[in-house]
Structure 1
Amino acid sequence: MYDGGKVGVFHSRNRKNMAHLSIRVLGPFQVSLDGEPVSGFASDKVRALLAYLTLSPDSPHRREVLAGLLWPEFPERAARSSLRNALANLRQVIGDRTISPPFLHITRQTIQFNNQSTYWLDADAFEELLDVVPLTDNRLEQAVNLVQGLFLEGFTLADAAPFEEWLLLRRERFGRKVVAALYSIAAVYEEQDAFEQALTHARRLVDLEPWEEDGQRQLMRLLARCGQRDEALVRYTTFCQVLVDELGVEPEPATIVLSEQIRAGMIVATLRHTSVRASVQEPDADVGFGLSFPQAATSAQSVTGTALLPILPGTVSLDAERRTVSVVRANVRGSAELLTRVGTEDWAVIMSQALHALGIQVLRFGGEVNRHSEDGLVACLGAMTAHEDDPERAVLTALAMQDAFAALMVELAESEDHDGFVQDLNLNVSVHTGPVVVAAAGESGPGPDTAMGEALAYTARMQITAEPGEVWVSEVTRRLVEPLFEWLPRGEINAGKGGYVLKVYRALGRKTLTEKMRGIAGLSSPLIGRDDEFRALQGAIERLWDGVGGIVTVIGEAGIGKSRLVAELRQTADRRPRLADSDLVWVEGRCLSYATGVAYSLWVGALRSLLNLDTAAVQAVTVDALRERVQIFCPDCVDEVHPFLAQMMSLPLTGGAEVRLRGIEGAGLRVLTFRAVELLLAHVADLAPLVVVCEDLHWADATSLELLDHLLTLTDRVPILWICVFRPEAER
């Protein structure tokens, strides 16, 4: 396309084959000149300058603004000098001095990218394809094929906060457009019954934006239609758990309904079949689905064409295994009385909501629902997948059930539809650890729904005498987790024939400060056989006192003494005579086996410890205390630290903190959260030598590990010692 009669000057926007300079920003940053990759960039600041100029070519940019964007911490004169050097390098690597017209318009005061030069930018091409009306399927396909990842994926300038904020806003803007395009093209293919092609785009959407619930539903539906029903249900379960763990919310009703349709076989694979004919009809007014299956179809019938097939149960056989599990039984007291007051329909709605809220807590801690009844459920931890801390998970599940049920009752009580009807409902939860038999049903293998035996029977007996609204735990389970929770004795119950008596306790809640369950309380012994390792750790502490940080990894199998080694080091450090004006600051964060999918699980505990925030305090007190502590440690950057730590800890935001986070989501929020933690730790280490112990990193969530990797470079700037403790597990 020619412009203004200037022969040989091509607009870049959709003419890649004519462009001398080609730039990709929808994914990793890539630059090519006449088809060859451009090298020779002196630094990422030069790349950032090129990206910024090409994405905003419509007006000139003053030099002092560009200098402040990329070198905000430099004095103005030094920043402008750095800009001159970067500009000189940029012009050299893209051949700006030898091409006509040049890529850059440069004056003594301003710099502007020349949008009349022969260049191509994938972001411009992407937007031009989507801006055409009408938007055809072919243009949608071309647009999404341009996208190779997040906007400037992996690109960051940690020391240039203004550029980072610009980057985040652009990333969010393009991210929304990409998500909309992927959803649309997947919907087009789904409408055409091209489910495999639709599935490819739906997977890309969810990978880029996992919180997009419309995209999650689209992917679940397409998986079911491609014959991958189990994966669709696993994706739903995982999505529910992530929503609860990270956002404290449940999926939308449409998502829940879709999962039940898939589970019931109402959305099924489109296959060639030779024995059952199915026809697509107008949706039934009562049922609401457009599938019709004949009542009499035998294997002798031979039909052709496309058939929509229901999922049929397999044959049942018994292949039992004996396992030790922790059983959680929950029953809603008062449900029968509620039925007589509100009628069947409203009762079913209320009880379905209650059972769903309870089931979410089971999933949250890695358990499986064994069975449902009209007023409760039974869950097992360890029936399908055994964890070394299943008893702890079971008690946490029970306590979380009580919290979730109480929150639901408050919500229902405030509803006009149920006002006055739910105040008499209470939840009883019982927990016991013991043997069960887990049977295998048909070809599907053992399942939690076939667990039966002693442990389930004991929890049922505990329910008979349990007080409303309490969590009762058997003596067997309590012994396994006693140091972790607060307890209240509840006497004994008759556990069955033969006069067997079972002691029971009420679990009041998790202790505010808990130690790892190692050894026997009140007993100690000298450390033996770890002299070399202990001396290495002591040497790292001595160097820390001299202002030199470091990284130490403590790797070993379970039970070999890793935590004991670190505990002994801390005791020795605490007994060391003070040689400086300040004490050593010691912070510990622990990863939990049931929180591997919870973002920042390591850092929430570590930062609460560092800032001395009481986990048992009411939320309002914690909110105030967090801001006070951040003000003490980071007086010069409170607004760059406090809002992001509050959001990480799931604390409510008000005033300026809420405004600061407005519009920041996804990757942008992640980058600024990383920066906030970095600023806090750097300020603390400037005040006193800092030791950060990261326990059980083999259970760390991906986000915690990424943040740890980002923070390790602090050792080059401040006296901070990282002690990373983990098992040698290959997958981590």
Structure 2
Amino acid sequence: MADELQLLLLSRPQIIQNSTPIFIFHKAQALFYYLAVTARPHQRTALLSFLWSHIPENNRKNNLRVTLSYLRKHFGEYLSINRHTVSFNQNANYWLDVDVLKNALQASPKTIERLQEVVKLYQGPFLEGFHVPEEKEFETWVTNMRKKLQDLVVQALHTLALRYQELGNYTESIDCLNRLLLLQPWREESHQLLMMLLATSGQRSAALEQYEICRQMLEEHKRLPSTELTKLHEEISTGKLVVANNATVTPQTVGCFMENDLPQQRQIESEQQVTLMYCHWHDIHTQLTQSPEVWHILQQYCTQHLLGVIHQFGGQVIYQYNGGLLVAFSGTETPESNAQHAIQCGLQVLKAVGSAAEIKTHQLSLAIHTGLVLMEKVKINGHQHYLNLIGQPLDIVQELARQASPNALLISNDTYSLVKETVACQQFGNSEYNFFGSNIYQVQAISSQ
């Protein structure tokens, strides 16, 4: 057996064997990377249009034959090729950084060591600098993979920042947030947490400067600072911010900890099954949504109308930004009841938005997913509040909501298995979310029973 083949695709791509880089021609690289990352058989006919769409069909077939022959010569044991399909041999001796990153994030529990491994693996964007500009389908695949992998690394950095914060290691936590904001500088919740950490570690001027950086970034993206961000800035500016010694402060609690309203008890629970709902807004007229006023209307509508509906069904808002809402349902005795309440809430939210005359520029889609998350709670004035939820279900539910059509409610297979006796659904197909990979369903109605 040949020595391990290394595929380094997180940054500028490299193929290495026996500590020696291997160079192959451009289209062969593109095909080899695609087969390795997707890890499934592909029809030859599909590959023709994927990498040779711009040339006549006979030439396409010849180019694919030549490319496969070339790859078989160099990497024969890593490929499975027959008359109809082509795939990467996952039983071969190889190492792929994308797979290692995904496996580290799927492992439980997500220890600091595993999260550090993820961050270390991510040396740059997926296939950085590698393009096949004449093939739009390939370019779209690369773009989508870059975003999904970056989102996962951002989530890992955010979780790592919270873990360091729990240990009182503010320096490492601040470093994680700075690295995160280099990847996604528009994430207001990360700016908020960074401001809080800077302020509580005695760096008040740096915290105020961070607010200005955040405000300018939001302005560039035609967005207004949230009420929570503005309030935090005021508290830091006036010196009114008080942080309890036993409390870990996250964006969800920003603005809550005042002198007469300190957290009384913080609790970190083990993994718990929670049903999550995410509300995603689709632009109808892109040219109109550049105005900050549009986002203000969405945020105001959610606050005035949707939060009441959510609370009616026992949901708690974990995250709210420019109208986007992440909601958790875990207050009932059984997972089935939580899932049912979430679906009832989702249908009612869609009904409310459908009749809202003030929403003219956007349409709403919803997704619901049930999974295990790590939960942090704090008791304030005798009431339990979520500080933070950590886990892959947060990524899954947000990605499903983005895939959903406007005015639709999608649920994952995990949620469907809890409510299939009472909810009428139509199978929507397999999720395109690479790290999910099971059936999803579109809700049509719910039984009155």
What TM-score bracket applies, with the shorter chain setting the length?
Answer: 0.5 to 0.7
2:176 to 191, 201, 220: 201
Separation in structure 1 between the aligned mates of residue 191 and residue 51 of structure 2, nearest angstrom = 38
Counterpart mapping for 1:571-720 below 5 A = 663=402
Counterpart mapping for 1:316-395 below 5 A = none
1:21 aligns with 2:5: yes
SS of 1:73's equivalent in the other structure is coil
Q: CA deviation at 1:115?
A: 0.2
Residue 48 (structure 1) aligns with = 30
Residue 149 (structure 2) aligns with = 174
Separation in structure 2 between the aligned mates of residue 161 and residue 137 of structure 1, nearest angstrom = 39
Q: CA deviation at 1:57?
A: 1.8
Shift in alpha-carbon separation, 1:279–1:188, aligned structure 2, 3 A = closer
Quote the RMSD (CA, aligned, Å).
3.9
**Preserved CA contact (<8 Å) 1:22 1:121:** yes
Q: CA deviation at 1:202?
A: 1.1
Shift in alpha-carbon separation, 1:110–1:211, aligned structure 2, 3 A = same
1:257 aligns with 2:231: yes
**Preserved CA contact (<8 Å) 2:51 2:135:** yes
1:57 to 35, 39, 49: 39
Shift in alpha-carbon separation, 1:414–1:260, aligned structure 2, 3 A = closer
1:185 aligns with 2:160: yes
Separation in structure 1 between the aligned mates of residue 142 and residue 297 of structure 2, nearest angstrom = 43
Q: CA deviation at 1:226?
A: 4.9
Residue 556 (structure 1) aligns with = none
**Preserved CA contact (<8 Å) 2:11 2:126:** yes
Residue 19 (structure 2) aligns with = 35
SS of 2:75's equivalent in the other structure is coil
**Preserved CA contact (<8 Å) 1:20 1:34:** yes
Separation in structure 2 between the aligned mates of residue 209 and residue 20 of structure 1, nearest angstrom = 34
Counterpart mapping for 1:395-406 below 5 A = none
1:287 aligns with 2:260: yes
Q: CA deviation at 1:175?
A: 2.1
Shift in alpha-carbon separation, 1:200–1:72, aligned structure 2, 3 A = same
1:68 aligns with 2:49: yes
Separation in structure 2 between the aligned mates of residue 279 and residue 187 of structure 1, nearest angstrom = 16
Q: CA deviation at 1:113?
A: 0.5
Length, aligned pairs only: 279
Counterpart mapping for 1:177-576 below 5 A = 177-247=152-222, 249-265=223-239, 280=245, 287-289=260-262
- TM normalised by structure 2 equals 0.54
**Preserved CA contact (<8 Å) 1:64 1:76:** no
**Amino acid of the structure 2 residue aligned with 1:173:** K
**Amino acid of the structure 2 residue aligned with 1:42:** F
Shift in alpha-carbon separation, 1:289–1:162, aligned structure 2, 3 A = same
Q: CA deviation at 1:185?
A: 0.7
Separation in structure 2 between the aligned mates of residue 202 and residue 234 of structure 1, nearest angstrom = 15
Q: CA deviation at 1:414?
A: 13
Residue 429 (structure 1) aligns with = none
Separation in structure 2 between the aligned mates of residue 663 and residue 279 of structure 1, nearest angstrom = 38
Q: CA deviation at 1:90?
A: 3.3
Separation in structure 2 between the aligned mates of residue 407 and residue 111 of structure 1, nearest angstrom = 46
Shift in alpha-carbon separation, 1:229–1:34, aligned structure 2, 3 A = farther
Separation in structure 1 between the aligned mates of residue 16 and residue 294 of structure 2, nearest angstrom = 60
Q: CA deviation at 1:284?
A: 7.4
Separation in structure 2 between the aligned mates of residue 406 and residue 142 of structure 1, nearest angstrom = 40
1:144 to 119, 122, 125: 119
Deviations 1:443-482 (A, max 9, x none): xxxxxxxxxxxxxxxxxxxxxxxxxxxxxxxxxxxxxxxx
Q: CA deviation at 1:104?
A: 0.6
Shift in alpha-carbon separation, 1:261–1:80, aligned structure 2, 3 A = farther
**Amino acid of the structure 2 residue aligned with 1:287:** N
For the pair shown, which has the larger CA radius of gyration, 1 or 2? 1
**Preserved CA contact (<8 Å) 2:240 2:258:** no
Separation in structure 1 between the aligned mates of residue 110 and residue 85 of structure 2, nearest angstrom = 38
**Amino acid of the structure 2 residue aligned with 1:133:** S
Separation in structure 2 between the aligned mates of residue 200 and residue 255 of structure 1, nearest angstrom = 20
Separation in structure 2 between the aligned mates of residue 71 and residue 415 of structure 1, nearest angstrom = 50
Residue 105 (structure 2) aligns with = 130
Shift in alpha-carbon separation, 1:64–1:138, aligned structure 2, 3 A = same
**Preserved CA contact (<8 Å) 1:20 1:118:** yes
Deviations 1:694-713 (A, max 9, x none): xxxxxxxxxxxxxxxxxxxx
Q: CA deviation at 1:412?
A: 8.5
SS of 2:80's equivalent in the other structure is strand
Deviations 1:276-321 (A, max 9, x none): xx99478977533579xxxxxxxxxxxxxxxxxxxxxxxxxxxxxx
Q: CA deviation at 1:31?
A: 1.7
Separation in structure 1 between the aligned mates of residue 107 and residue 45 of structure 2, nearest angstrom = 37
**Preserved CA contact (<8 Å) 1:129 1:139:** yes
Residue 71 (structure 2) aligns with = 90
Shift in alpha-carbon separation, 1:653–1:405, aligned structure 2, 3 A = closer
Give the unaligned 5+ runs of structure 1. 1-7, 10-18, 269-277, 292-402, 418-650, 655-661, 665-732
Residue 115 (structure 1) aligns with = 90
**Amino acid of the structure 2 residue aligned with 1:69:** F
Separation in structure 2 between the aligned mates of residue 405 and residue 162 of structure 1, nearest angstrom = 35
**Amino acid of the structure 2 residue aligned with 1:70:** L
**Preserved CA contact (<8 Å) 2:188 2:214:** no
**Preserved CA contact (<8 Å) 1:195 1:225:** no
**Preserved CA contact (<8 Å) 1:195 1:222:** yes
Separation in structure 1 between the aligned mates of residue 221 and residue 145 of structure 2, nearest angstrom = 25
SS of 1:96's equivalent in the other structure is helix
Separation in structure 2 between the aligned mates of residue 117 and residue 242 of structure 1, nearest angstrom = 46
**Amino acid of the structure 1 residue aligned with 2:15:** V
Residue 60 (structure 2) aligns with = 79
Sequence identity (%)? 30
Q: CA deviation at 1:225?
A: 4.3
Deviations 1:3-57 (A, max 9, x none): xxxxx79xxxxxxxxx611112222222211222222x222x2221111100122
Shift in alpha-carbon separation, 1:414–1:222, aligned structure 2, 3 A = closer
Deviations 1:341-385 (A, max 9, x none): xxxxxxxxxxxxxxxxxxxxxxxxxxxxxxxxxxxxxxxxxxxxx
Residue 626 (structure 1) aligns with = none
Q: CA deviation at 1:158?
A: 1.4
Q: CA deviation at 1:196?
A: 1.5
**Amino acid of the structure 2 residue aligned with 1:199:** I
Q: CA deviation at 1:206?
A: 1.1
Shift in alpha-carbon separation, 1:156–1:221, aligned structure 2, 3 A = farther
1:163 aligns with 2:138: yes
Shift in alpha-carbon separation, 1:280–1:242, aligned structure 2, 3 A = closer
Residue 79 (structure 2) aligns with = 104
Q: CA deviation at 1:120?
A: 0.6
Deviations 1:610-650 (A, max 9, x none): xxxxxxxxxxxxxxxxxxxxxxxxxxxxxxxxxxxxxxxxx
Q: CA deviation at 1:135?
A: 2.2
Shift in alpha-carbon separation, 1:204–1:408, aligned structure 2, 3 A = closer
Shift in alpha-carbon separation, 1:258–1:116, aligned structure 2, 3 A = same
